Structure 1
Amino acid sequence: MIDFSKELNPAQLEAATALDGPVLVIAGAGSGKTRTIVYRLANLVASGVPASKILLLTFTRKAAREMLERAERLVFRSGSAHISLAGVQGGTFHAFAYSVLRTFKPVGFERAATVMDSADMLAALQVCKGDLGLGGKGDKSFPKTQTILGYISKCRNREQDMETLLMREAPHLFPYAPDMQRLAAAYTAFKRDKSLLDYDDLLFELEKLLSVSREALAWCWKKHSHIMIDEYQDTNLVQARLASLLSGFSRGAFGPSPAEGAPDGETPQGGGNIMVVGDDAQSIYAFRGADVRNIRDFPHLFPGTRLIRLEENYRSTQPVLDLANAVLEGASEGYKKHLFTEKKGGDLPQVIRPRSDLSQANVVAQRIAELLALYPAREIAVLFRAGYQSYHLEIQLARMGVRFAKYGGIRYTEAAHVKDAVSFARLAVNPLDFTAFQRMASLTKGIGDKTCRKLYDALRHSDAGTVAKAAKKYPDFGADIAFVDSLRLRHLSPETLFGEIIAHYTPKLQELYPDDYPKRLQGLEQLAQIAASYTDLDLFISDLSLDDPFEEEGEREHVTLSTIHSAKGLEWSAVIIIDLVEERFPSRHALQRHEDLEEERRLMYVAVTRAREYLGLCVPATLYSRGSAVTVPAEPSPFIRIIPSTLYEEWLEGFTGLARRPVFTPPVGAARRSPFDVPDDDAPGDDALGERPAPPREFKPGPARAASIPPVPIADDAARGEGASAGLISPLRQGESGYCRHKVFGRGKIVQFLPPDKYRVNFPGMGLKVIMGAYLEIEKEG
């Protein structure tokens, strides 16, 4: 027999032995979530629930297989040879949907449906493009078929229209929204006519079937009395509706749910038995369609829910967890949790403040070199918000000979557009660099390998006539070689040279990569930023050309460079997070919408909780502005500013290296200011220190989901109108206290009212903002 009380902590035990009714398990990072699911599976079967009655839904087949294998080993180890989990149906939502749709035809289909693979989907969409006359050979800017298919899938999973999606994610493609919408409709009709289903159709067709077919819904209820869903915070809207249908809390077109008094004999055998496990604080995949409201609204959508929190962490030291808890304290909503561990000891996390974003790579590389003396390379990771942010660090590690592998983005040495741009720079240094010449020449349509070699030989032998003829025949090639000549004639700094290369290459970039050129351009701008730290062009080109010398050694140990999204579910002994400044983390667009900023907070929490022992947080003091060729002070990320200074060591990069800043200890009896406090210059006595706001409220499901918050219009000094620019300060309106609250920036002090409808507000840590009154909650006097 399994001694559950001996092998599980109290919260895990409660979850593993909760066998009835709807259960929501909020599993904090590193709290033994998988272990809890495994023990509950074993307990269900040991308690007499037939294995065939259990449905385990996960997001990967591998996860389901590993859970079931662990549960089988647990049962075998306990000596319960008569118990078997062989009948448990475990897999993804899509695999389960397909299993049902093989038994019952999709609604409206005359014959059994065939599921398309990715190649089939592309071919079908290509046929539809041809039928509609879209994206012909003459229109190079029309999005590629693969890109359109991706946006069609996103529209389905987010349940958004194409215009809304493109406006938020790809505004450069917005002019094509009507055509892409027409194409999506044609694609849907094509599939229906041919009895075809793509990957996304599986979920929606299953929902439609269960909503209108009493037979199919009853079959599912009879087949599965107990449902378990892992990583519930990552479900999209249709997956949440399927969970409700399968557990009997929603009955489609067949009358009331069990909670509302369903007729006898029509209630699922398990009595609406469903357990979901997840963590709303780790919901970071909204861009894929995941909706954090699914887990937050669960108690409202599933009446009678039993809520269990797993808060004991088995991964990190307490100092790391204290910092993670502080990150979550500023959240405006969510399930309250406090991570703790029984582990003793642990060093404080380090907040490292490099002089600038240009010196940050060197500081991080040196820190990695120090960590390699303490940990194997595989136990060290550097995490970042976006793939291009690691470019400078990649160069530094390559120079030092440190092996690394990158996830969640390609290396700068592997990016086609980066190779294109660098080829111009290499030719400026060495006009007979054949590899660079071949790369540049291939950018011109009509020049293949044979022509390229002929032109290279002509240049090498100073055959001006052949080169002139080629330039006339291929104008783009002529413009490119003239541009290279202009670079060679001038003595340009690496930064200036790359700036000119980017300007010259951008039209070609837009032509070659119409679908995602803004993102690629961002990477090139980062490369130009890196160039600003060099004075020798030869050295810069050499560093750019350094490949990892150990790349072909396969499984050899390496340091991990990863985006945070790609790091979820992983852990390392030492973790460094870089670029923790505003407009990088959180990203610029996240500051415009409350829900986006909150997802960035969750992303920070996920990043911090990847660390077992060492945690370094890099906050550059300044950022280099390539446009103005000056460095400007950087605003630390709000997720750093809210962390009490007692929870970390602070290290500053000076002119002689890194030095630890002494911890400031306030005088005895002095009140400690909260990072959320708003100073009141007018109030006397203790009130001048401000009031510490109430701790974040625990999430309480409401009767309905809140509408999304509209983008916040924020005006800068140049756009504030004549009244503001003239310095006219209008008094506050009668009854207003001088303070306000904003969904994103928190509580602030109103500095002035700008007629007719704007306020200038000082938000602690965020500075002065001018915001329309409609987006502020003005506090009243008294």
Structure 2
Amino acid sequence: MTVPGTADDILVALDPDQRRVAEQPLGPMCVLAGAGSGKTRAITHRIAFGVWSGAYPAHRVLAVTFTARAAGEMRTRLRGLGVPGAQARTFHAAALRQLQYFWPQAVGGAPPEVLGHKAPAVAEAAGRLRLRTDRTELRDLAAEIEWAKVNMLTPETYPAAARRESRQPAGYEPTAVARLMQTYEEVKGERHVIDFEDVLLLMVGILAEHPQIAAAIRDQYRHFVVDEYQDVNTVQQQLLDLWVGGRKDICVVGDPAQTIYSFTGASPRHLLGFAKAHPDADVVRLVRNYRSSPQVVQLANTVLAAAPGANPVRLQAAGEPGPDPRVTRYDDDVAEAAGIAAQIGKFVASGQEAAGIAILFRTNAQSEAIENALASAGLPYLVRGGERFFSRTEVRQAILLLRGAARSDDVSMPLGRVVRDVLSGAGWTPEPPSASGATRERWESLQALVHLADDLSAADPELRLPALVAELDRRIAEQHAPTVQGVTLASLHAAKGLEWDIVFLAGCSDGLLPISVAEGPDRIEEERRLLYVGLTRARREIRLSWAGARGQGGRATRRMSRFLLPAAGLLGMAREEGGPGRSRAAGKPKKRKVCRGCGGELATAAERKIGRCEACPPTYDEATFEALREWRLATAKEQEVPAYVVFTDATLTAIAEGTPSDTAELGRIAGVGPAKLERYGPDVLRILGSSAETR
């Protein structure tokens, strides 16, 4: 990005609506920005135009958003526009900085530490109340405490609000949750710690009770920009009101159609009510979608148009045409995962970078089958929402090595070669490892650092290792990770704000989209918006799929998502077109598979998995099979899960009949993915080995 020479230079590359946002840097403004419409571009140019035109100095601006990644992107863009002094932070980061600075003045002493995770403190509170909770229940109760606090509810006011909302987390009555909330606060007090919601609540209290502190902050920041305003909750809005202090220089940006975090207390009412609260506000709509192909935009518009009520923003496609979207029906979840992996394999073989492909799903439980399928196909992948890039062990080790090498940088060698030599000490190799899973992920992390060095060197041939290390330090502070080569797996919630060339949206069936626990029209409509968010992540192509049954050989009880029915024509299908085992997009029958015993066609997924029909006698050793079944039952009891979660009957039969002798052979059996191979492989091979010795 070239630093502008004048204020007018900042407006040159903007479309008329974006320009309208940028050229009015003062006064209240509400920007209703559709997906892919360049909202970040518009608001960063608004800030830059305000600074370059002399409307305000950069250090008087505070831009707030909801993720460290989004804040880092805003800071990067503002630096490129010549305004590095403008602050861009998350709500929590901005509030925590203020809390730590003003705590001695407002309260006295050192500020308390912030809890990294609530679960241990919630568990201790539950134990004091003699509530028996498992990990899932603890997570739900911790989330409920967050919901209560962002809605500014106390243990006394929570029960009435929870009953109004019909909330019963982990099956507990509101009064029991209120007692847990009270005990949780006592645990934190004894430890002299606070949680992330306390950061906001405490700053609200300090600003309300200490006018001199409120005045100091208002003197520091006089112009505010709020991104993703549809996700603001009650406490964040109150904090924002106290920051602004009744002044008018505030610009809010959001999209009601992307409101998908109501479970955290987020509500679009602040965005939709902004014009009423600020009668002199200018309302601008950004509707030109520059991200997605017209085919993707049309599908997204069609899905959203079926929702009751008017949507303030209907997207207009501005991108290049792409392939028509399509939906494919599979027999079961395993077949769906394998079908998606096969399609991705073809894309990668044709030259598409794996990093430009994503598989999105409604629940994290859908990820395992997809991971197994990708690993079996030898395709690299990364799961979004896992460990942050710069927190990974191999990345920390690599940066330490680079930092040490920077002290004696060999300027006679190209930067790329120097970096490759250094990272070889951390395990990087010129060719990717043949192994999948964690080994491949570690290599992909190091490869991302290599690519970053190449990209920076191409932009600045004079760049050397100390400057690269400085750039990495900056990216660590901003959580601005480089691109890791691999197919991205992410939940629809985790995919918000991201984009890829090709998006596969798995599990498009009722029960998953909308999720079965979504009750009432409001929750159902939020599920529709979640699908809309998923669709608009695709730049060029969207492929949707669903499975008739969950398990292999199960009854096909699922139906395609009701949200896709209005778009049946766009998807090239009749509403009830196709049948089990037939692709609705291509209409081609599955490849015929026959029994290895009698040669007859295998009718079910379970038969196809073991390669034998039910009429033919099993070819495994009965004692071996019984030993595997006993081990599976004991393992399931120990882990407190159903037996099929360890291995399905079909997988167990395939293992007994195949009698693999090593991990490579075991890993080739359908249903034994990398995670299960690592977790259960040694036990299974031990049982098979013992059985072979006694036969």
TM > 0.5: yes
In the other structure, the counterpart of 1:154 is: 147
Contact 2:500 2:539 in 1 (8 A): yes
C-alpha separation in 2, matches of 1:599 and 1:406: 24
C-alpha separation in 2, matches of 1:637 and 1:123: 38
Q: What letter matches 1:247 in structure 2?
A: V
Contact 1:387 1:408 in 2 (8 A): no
Q: What letter matches 2:532 in structure 1?
A: Y
Q: Which has the higher strand share?
A: 1
Q: 1:67 to 1:632 in 2, by over 3 A?
A: closer
Q: Alpha-carbon deviations, 1:38-67, whole Å to 9, x = none?
A: 211111112221223212112234533442
In the other structure, the counterpart of 1:98 is: 96
Note the 1:566-605 alignment, pairs <5 A: 566-590=494-518, 592-605=519-532
Matched residue SS, 1:336:
coil
C-alpha separation in 2, matches of 1:234 and 1:587: 21
C-alpha separation in 1, matches of 2:133 and 2:581: 51
Q: What letter matches 1:292 in structure 2?
A: P
When structure 1 is superposed on structure 2, of 301-310 and 652-661 the one drifting more is 652-661
Q: Alpha-carbon deviations, 1:511-535, whole Å to 9, x = none?
A: xxxxxxxxxxxxxxxxxxxxxxxxx
Q: Alpha-carbon deviations, 1:545-588, whole Å to 9, x = none?
A: 99577344333632222211111122111111111111111111
Give the alignment partner of residue 543 of structure 2, picking from 610, 613, 616. 616
C-alpha separation in 2, matches of 1:345 and 1:140: 52
Matched residue SS, 2:31:
strand
C-alpha separation in 2, matches of 1:656 and 1:352: 8
Matched residue SS, 1:645:
coil
In the other structure, the counterpart of 1:382 is: 359
In the other structure, the counterpart of 1:394 is: 371
Give the deviation of 1:193 after TM superposition.
Answer: 8.2
In the other structure, the counterpart of 1:550 is: 440
Note the 1:71-82 alignment, pairs <5 A: 71-75=78-82
Q: Alpha-carbon deviations, 1:703-751, whole Å to 9, x = none?
A: xxxxxxxxxxxxxxxxxxxxxxxxxxxxxxxxxxxxxxxxxxxxxxxxx
When structure 1 is superposed on structure 2, of 646-655 and 11-20 the one drifting more is 646-655
Q: Alpha-carbon deviations, 1:56-110, whole Å to 9, x = none?
A: 11223453344234223223xxxxxxxx542x33322223323444565599x75
Give the alignment partner of residue 47 of structure 1, picking from 49, 53, 65. 53
Give the deviation of 1:23 after TM superposition.
Answer: 0.8
In the other structure, the counterpart of 2:384 is: 407
C-alpha separation in 1, matches of 2:314 and 2:240: 28
Q: 1:409 to 1:587 in 2, by over 3 A?
A: farther
Structure 1 position 21 matched with structure 2 position 40? no
C-alpha separation in 2, matches of 1:328 and 1:129: 42
Q: Alpha-carbon deviations, 1:166-189, whole Å to 9, x = none?
A: 9967654416x6455334224435
Q: What letter matches 2:378 in structure 1?
A: G
Contact 1:16 1:40 in 2 (8 A): yes
Structure 1 position 640 matched with structure 2 position 564? yes
Structure 1 position 134 matched with structure 2 position 119? no
Give the alignment partner of residue 224 of structure 1, picking from 221, 225, 244. 221
Give the deviation of 1:309 after TM superposition.
Answer: 1.3
Give the deviation of 1:609 after TM superposition.
Answer: 0.8
Give aligned-pair identity as a percent: 32
Q: Which has the higher helix share?
A: 2
Structure 1 position 564 matched with structure 2 position 498? no
Q: Alpha-carbon deviations, 1:224-271, whole Å to 9, x = none?
A: 22111112122211112222333334xxxxxxxxxxxxxxxxxx4xxx
- Structure 2 gaps, min length 5: 1-5, 388-434, 448-484, 589-695
The TM-score normalised by the length of structure 2 is: 0.62
Q: Alpha-carbon deviations, 1:583-620, whole Å to 9, x = none?
A: 11111122x21111111111111110111111111144
Matched residue SS, 1:56:
strand
C-alpha separation in 2, matches of 1:157 and 1:183: 17
In the other structure, the counterpart of 1:237 is: 234
Matched residue SS, 2:260:
coil
Structure 1 position 278 matched with structure 2 position 230? no
Structure 1 position 345 matched with structure 2 position 273? no
Contact 1:409 1:563 in 2 (8 A): no
Matched residue SS, 2:349:
coil
Q: Alpha-carbon deviations, 1:378-427, whole Å to 9, x = none?
A: 212111101122333333333322232223479xxxxxxxxxxxxxxxxx
Note the 1:284-323 alignment, pairs <5 A: 284-323=260-299
C-alpha separation in 2, matches of 1:225 and 1:578: 46
Q: 1:190 to 1:389 in 2, by over 3 A?
A: closer
Q: 1:142 to 1:654 in 2, by over 3 A?
A: closer
C-alpha separation in 2, matches of 1:120 and 1:390: 24
Matched residue SS, 2:243:
helix
Give the deviation of 1:279 after TM superposition.
Answer: 1.5
In the other structure, the counterpart of 1:111 is: 108
Q: 1:630 to 1:129 in 2, by over 3 A?
A: closer
Q: What letter matches 1:8 in structure 2?
A: L
Q: 1:134 to 1:74 in 2, by over 3 A?
A: same
Contact 2:444 2:486 in 1 (8 A): no
Q: What letter matches 2:364 in structure 1?
A: G
Q: What letter matches 1:281 in structure 2?
A: A
CA-based RMSD of the aligned residues comes to: 3.7
Q: 1:68 to 1:317 in 2, by over 3 A?
A: same
Structure 1 position 67 matched with structure 2 position 74? yes
Give the deviation of 1:123 after TM superposition.
Answer: 7.5
C-alpha separation in 2, matches of 1:643 and 1:562: 24
In the other structure, the counterpart of 2:659 is: none
When structure 1 is superposed on structure 2, of 598-607 and 194-203 the one drifting more is 194-203
Give the alignment partner of residue 33 of structure 1, picking from 22, 39, 46. 39
Give the deviation of 1:18 after TM superposition.
Answer: 1.9
Matched residue SS, 1:26:
strand
Contact 1:11 1:309 in 2 (8 A): yes
Matched residue SS, 1:90:
strand
Contact 1:388 1:409 in 2 (8 A): no
Give the deviation of 1:648 after TM superposition.
Answer: 4.8
Matched residue SS, 1:364:
helix
Give the deviation of 1:158 after TM superposition.
Answer: 4.0
Q: 1:57 to 1:142 in 2, by over 3 A?
A: closer
Contact 1:649 1:660 in 2 (8 A): no
C-alpha separation in 1, matches of 2:277 and 2:305: 26
Instruction: Report how many aligned residue pairs link the two structures.
Output: 488
C-alpha separation in 1, matches of 2:22 and 2:356: 32
